[in-house]
Amino acid sequence: MKKTLKRTLGLLLVLCITVGLLAGCGSSGGSTAAPSGGEEAGEEVVTIRVMSSDDFAGFRTSVIAEFEEANPGIKIDFQSVGYDALHQKEVTALAAGSDTYDIVDVDCIWTPEYVTNGYIECIDDRLTDEMKTGIAPVAMDTLMYEGKYYGLPMFNDLFFMYYNKDILSQAGVTDMPATWDEFTEVCQQMQEAGLIDYGSAWGWAQAEGLICYYMTFLKGFGGSLTDEEHNPTVNLPENVAALQYMVDSLYETNISDPASVTSDDRMAIDLFSQGKTPFVINWSFAWSVFNDPEQSAVADKVGVMLVPGTGDVKSATCAGSMGLSITSTCKHKDEAWKFIEFLASKEIQKRQAIEAGALPIWEELYTDAELIEQHPALEAMLEQVGYAHNRPSLVWYNEFSDVLQVEIQNALTQNKTPQQALDDAQAKALEIQKKY
Amino acid sequence: MKKNMARRGLDMGVHPYLYIAPALIALTAVVLLPLLYAFYLSLFKTQGLNGTFVGLANYISILKEDYFWESTGRTAYFTIVSVMLEFILGMLVALLLNEKFRWRGIARAMLILPWALPTVVNGVLWSWIFNSSYGSLNGLLSQLGLIDKYINWLGEPGIAMNCVIFADVWKNYAMIALILLAGLQTIPADYYEAAKIDGANAVQRFFGVTLPLMKPSILVCLVLRTMEAFKVFDIVYTMTKGGPANGTQVISYYTYQTTFQYSQFGTGAALSYLVSLFILLMAIVYVRLITGKGNES
């Protein structure tokens, strides 16, 4: 008897030690019934819970009070997390079918997944004619899947090439590099003159940002990750050439900071904002970081130029807009839509451009005189919009992206040749495609 | 006397179970139910949390996956190297702190500092130290003239894993040292005296007296650390995110990716069951070792 009891207790102990790991998996959605705060004269106050990415969260928070004042029946409960934690945060709540969030921030690459799993609402019948014709198509596509719309983009974001005016004028560079070969030459010239250690730092760590950088090069070299039928075409010769250029920039031409391999796209701007590199490619939020004297040593010295291309391609870059969607579990969809509509309105979009540096979604704002005056890089940024490419829209994108990240890193750390790495990535991509 | 107490324990009837009930209910709710649910989930090919029943197909496809075995191998490497280093370092520090010297109290208190740091803080701290452009390690080595070019510590798959292990050892050796120090203090001084009189030198005293008497403490810390190390996730997440080129992708990180990044909850659940199976096997071996020792005395 005593022995069996001891044995049972021992077994229980073993179990307890083991399960710690599992507990994380069967995550519970946890219903958070938000108490509706302060009821006003018989009118019920509806709380809308928003899960947003940290990018531009500061600006969004700052306009909430205004919205609540204009809509006394609605209260906004606004939460934000870093981009890297966002997908997990949303998916755990959405997959469990809990109504934790009424509005979620959706990156363009997640749209197919969210739509096929039924996490977000189609908003086709809420779209006004003005929205359909007035919002830039490259931004509107962020939340489009199979011809239907599932939310509104909150900014029109792409990779821009920023340059340091001081360093370039010291080096006597007057013609901006228009091709990647010229880019290498210009950087090497400045390195030989002792002006800089490296031409640029990149966010080539194993993360989604790496795919955005790779897309930028690959499109610039005329390549493509998928064909028109959404089949992977990872090892096209153009793609190999693009990757070869990236590898060479680390080990042959030495124009890239070796730390690029461990920096993500958010960290890639550090060297540039200290005035140590003449060029950097990054999102639009970087513009306001560079021009904030508290965070940067290059305030007012930054220009925006077209991302270089190759022979046939004038310029190419990667788009990465995000937008807000109403969740399927939301109980107050009309109120949630009101808030999304408010953030997407021309007035707020214009202010977001001036205060936070985001490119607005409305095409007519691109010629707005006041905006151009307040945001000197706007014109150069607009030119870049014409050369933006979205990453492939696939249900299996996340897994595809991870395989690509690993294989590109294998090439960047010289574990494999670019050809070998991309051949392997292609083989794995075909396997993943079959699974879905 | 001993027998008496045992008898009284049994005589208490339902009381022990009553006292244990609250904890048991809580454990059932937060551990046992999710555990069963995760198993249920692991039998489905999921889309969101809905899915089609596929039986053991998830398990079979995982076992065929190269990524799974590669990351299991990496996890084993991480576990063996880090636990071994932590144990050796912990033992040496415990022996040192068991000697009488001035400031011993302060030294013992300082020992606990790294362990008191949250793992995430530790990870961020070390990723800055290892940073290739601004890291203090590169600064130190180049000022000492040991390297002429900065090394990208976390950028080379082979080196990165060892850097993560280093950071883990720095934090966790302290716990082992603490447990071993406590164990050392329970060894009566006359054993050593007797050994000395018999002519045993320091090394012989260590292997002849200290080590055998320390067996319970050693087992406890090895059990705890091995299982924790096998589940390692947070330090990898903060330092390398599994990169570069999957060089630090350990099994828990792979499970996390499958579950939360690819939203494949079924496969993710199956993966965590397989990992748990490994840990369960280790736990059984260890518990055998501990209780086996208990029966002898």
CATH class for the region spanning A160-318+396-435: alpha beta
- C-alpha distance from residue B170 to each of A260, B113, B117, B173 (Å): 26, 10, 11, 6
Q: How far apart are CA A265 and CA B251, in angstroms?
A: 26
Cβ within 8 Å of A, B 264-283: 265, 268-269, 272-273, 275-276, 279-280, 283
pLDDT of residue A374: 84
- Measured from the Cβ of residue B135, the count of other Cβ atoms closer than 10 Å reads 21
Q: What is the rounded CA–CA span in Å between residue A262 and residue A361?
A: 32
B132: nearest CA partner in chain A: A259
Asked if the C-beta of B226 comes within 8 angstroms of chain A's C-beta atoms, the answer is no
Residue-wise pLDDT for B188-239, tens only, equals 989 989 999 998 888 899 988 898 889 888 888 888 899 899 999 999 999 9
DSSP β-bridge partners for residue A40: A43
The string of pLDDT tens digits covering residues B114-124 is 989 999 999 99
List CB contacts (< 8 A) between A259 and chain B. 131-133, 152, 155
| A-B Cβ pairs (cutoff 8 Å, strict) | 143
- What pLDDT is attached to residue A30? 37
pLDDT-derived band of residue A198, with 50, 70 and 90 as boundaries? very high
ipTM of the complex: 0.72
Judge: A258–B287 Cβ closer than 8 Å, yes or no. no
- A262, A273, A257, A248: which is closest to A199 by C-alpha? A257
User: Which residue is closest to B47 within chain A, CA to CA?
Assistant: A117
pLDDT at residue A225 tops 70: yes
pLDDT in tens, A355-368: 888 889 998 898 88
> Given this model, what pLDDT does residue A84 score?
81
Considering only the beta carbons, identify the residue of A97, A113, A262 that sits closest to B244.
Answer: A262
Tell me the average pLDDT across B81-101: 93
The yes-or-no verdict on residue A18 having pLDDT over 80 is no
Count Cβ neighbours within 10 Å for each residue of B207-246 and write b for 16 or more, e otherwise: eebbeebbeebbebbbbbbbbbbbbbbbbbbbbbbbbbbb
Phi and psi for B52 in degrees, rounded to 5?
Answer: -105, 145
Can you tell me the mean pLDDT for A415-436?
93
Q: What does pTM read for this prediction?
A: 0.79
B276–A97 CB contact, under 8 Å: no
pLDDT of the residue at B215:
86
pLDDT digits (tens, 9 = 90+) for A38-51: 444 456 899 999 99
Cross-chain residue pair A206–B242, CB shorter than 8 Å: yes
Average pLDDT over residues A55-61: 88
Taking CA–CA distances from A416, the nearest residue in chain B reads B245
Q: What are phi and psi of A20, to 5 degrees?
A: -40, -45
Residue extents of the structural domains in chain A: 46-157+320-384, 160-318+396-435
Provide the CA A356 distance to its chain's centre, in angstroms: 16
- Domain A46-157+320-384 matches domain A160-318+396-435 at the CATH topology level: yes
Q: Flag if A206 and B245 touch (Cβ within 8 Å).
A: yes
Identify whether the C-beta of residue A198 lies closer than 8 Å to the C-beta of residue A191. yes
Fold of the CATH domain A46-157+320-384: D-Maltodextrin-Binding Protein; domain 2 (3.40.190)
- Please name the residue of chain A whose CA is at the shortest distance from the CA of residue B27: A16
B residues 81-100 closer than 8 Å to A (CB): none
> Mapping DSSP to helix (H, G, I), strand (E, B) and coil, where does residue A252 land?
coil
A21 vs B: CB within 8 A: yes
The C-alpha of B176 sits at a distance from chain A's nearest C-alpha, in angstroms, of: 18
Residue B281 Cα, gap to closest chain A Cα (Å) = 9
Amino acid (one-letter) located at A250 = L
CA A155 to chain centre: 11
Cross-chain Cβ contact A26/B133 below 8 Å: no
Q: What is the pLDDT of residues A237-292, one digit of tens each?
A: 999 999 999 999 999 999 999 889 988 888 889 889 999 999 999 998 888 889 88
Q: Write the pLDDT tens digit of every residue in A83-101.
A: 888 998 999 889 888 889 9
**pLDDT confidence bin for A346, thresholds 50/70/90:** very high
Closest residue in B to A9 (Cα) is B287
B262 vs A contacts (CB less than 8 Å): 398-399, 402
Specify the pLDDT at position A36: 42
**Which tokens belong to B185?**
């203090």
Lowest mean pLDDT among A7-11, B87-91, B109-113, B172-176: A7-11
Domains of chain B in sequence order: 72-247 (1.10.3720.10)
CA distance A46 to A60: 19
User: What percentage of chain A carries pLDDT values higher than 70?
Assistant: 90
> CB of B72 within 8 Å of any CB in chain A?
no
A4: confidence class by pLDDT, cuts 50, 70, 90? low
Q: Shortest CA distance to A404 belongs to which of A204, A263, A241, A201?
A: A204
Give me the pLDDT at residue A177, please: 95
pLDDT score of A307 more than 90: yes
A63-86 per-position pLDDT tens digit: 999 999 999 999 999 999 988 889
Q: Report which of A177, A309, A305 is spatially closest to residue A241, judged by C-alpha positions.
A: A309
Decide if B244 touches A, using CB distance below 8 A: yes
What is the C-alpha to C-alpha distance for residues B26 and B177, in angstroms, rounded to an integer? 33
A326 — phi, psi (to 5°)? -90, 135
**Pairwise CA distance, residues A38 & A45, whole Å:** 7
Q: Is the pLDDT of residue A340 over 90?
A: yes
What's the pLDDT at A375?
83
CB burial class (10 A; 0-12, 13-18, 19+) of residue A220? buried
Q: pLDDT grade, residue A236 (50/70/90)? A: very high
Q: CA A178 to CA A293: how far, in whole Å?
A: 30
Contacts of B29 in chain A (CB under 8 A): none
SS3 of residue A148 by DSSP: strand
Respond yes or no on whether the N-terminal peptide bond of residue B157 is cis (omega within 30° of 0).
Answer: no
Confidence at residue B36, expressed as pLDDT on a 0 to 100 scale: 92
Q: A25–B34: do the CB atoms touch at under 8 Å? A: yes
Q: Is A3 on the interface with B (CB under 8 A)?
A: no
For the residues B278-292, what does the mean pLDDT come to? 82
